[in-house]
Chains A and B, each alone.
Chain A
Amino acid sequence: MYDPTVARLTYRALLGRRRALILGALPLLLIAISVVVRGLAGADDQTASDLLGGLALATMVPIIGVIAGTGAIGPEIDDGSVVYLLSKPVKRPTIIFTKLIVAIAVTMVFSAVPTFIAGFILNGNGQQIAVAYTVAALVASIAYAAIFLLLGTVSRHAVVFGLVYALVWEALFGSLVSGARTLSVQQWSLAVAHKVAGGDLVTSDVGLTTATILLAVVTVLATWYAGQKLRTLTLAGEE
Chain B
Amino acid sequence: MAVEQPLQVSPSGEQTRIHNIGYRTYDGPRLGRAYARRSLYSQSLRGAYGLGRSVKSKVLPMLLFVVMCVPAAIMVAVAVATKAKDLPVDYTRYAIIMQAVISLYVASQAPQSVSRDLRFKTVPLYFSRPIETADYVRAKYAALASAMFILTAAPLLVLYVGALLAKLDFADHTKGFAQGLVSVALLSLLFAGLGLVIASVTPRRGFGIAAVIAVLTISYGAVSTLQAIADAQSLGDGQGSAGAITWIGLFSPVTLIDGLQSAFLGAKSAFPGGVGPTNGEGVVYVLVTLGLIAAAYGLLMRRYRKVGL
Interface residues of A, Cβ cutoff 8 Å to B = 18-19, 22, 26, 29, 33, 36-37, 40-41, 47, 50-51, 54-55, 58-60, 63, 66-67, 70-71, 74-75, 78, 156-160, 163-164, 167-168, 171-172, 238-239
> B226 contacts the other chain (Cβ, under 8 Å)?
yes
Query: Does the CB pair B211–A51 fall under 8 Å?
Result: no
Count of CB-CB pairs between chains A and B under 8 Å: 97
Query: Does the CB pair B225–A33 fall under 8 Å?
Result: yes
Chain B interface residue bracket vs A: 20 to 34
Q: Produce 1/0 per residue, B186-210, CB < 8 A to A.
A: 0000000000000001101111011
Residue of A nearest to B108 (CB): A160
Task: Report Cα–Cα, A164/B56, bound state, in Å.
Answer: 17
| Nearest 4 interchain pairs by C-beta | A159-B206, A59-B221, A239-B54, A159-B209
- Chain B residues with CB under 8 A of A66: 210
Task: Report Cα–Cα, A168/B97, bound state, in Å.
Answer: 12
Tell me what chain A mostly uses at the interface: helix, strand, loop, or mixed.
helix
Query: Does the CB pair A37–B202 fall under 8 Å?
Result: no
If A29-B218, A167-B104 touch, whether A239 touches B213 (CB-CB below 8 Å) is no
If A66-B210, A158-B206 touch, whether A163 touches B221 (CB-CB below 8 Å) is no
> B57 contacts the other chain (Cβ, under 8 Å)?
yes
Q: How far is the CB of A46 from chain B (nearest CB, A)?
A: 8
Q: Which of B38-46, B77-85, B170-178, B229-237 contacts A (4 or more CB under 8 A)?
A: B229-237
Task: Report Cα–Cα, A190/B116, bound state, in Å.
Answer: 39
Query: Does the CB pair A50–B229 fall under 8 Å?
Result: yes
> B164 contacts the other chain (Cβ, under 8 Å)?
no
Q: How far is the CB of B108 from chain A (nearest CB, A)?
A: 5
Q: How far is the CB of A119 from chain B (nearest CB, A)?
A: 14
Query: Does the CB pair B214–A63 fall under 8 Å?
Result: yes
- Chain B residues with CB under 8 A of A50: 225, 228-229
If A41-B233, A239-B54 touch, whether A160 touches B209 (CB-CB below 8 Å) is yes
Query: Does the CB pair A167–B206 fall under 8 Å?
Result: no
- Chain B residues with CB under 8 A of A51: 225, 229
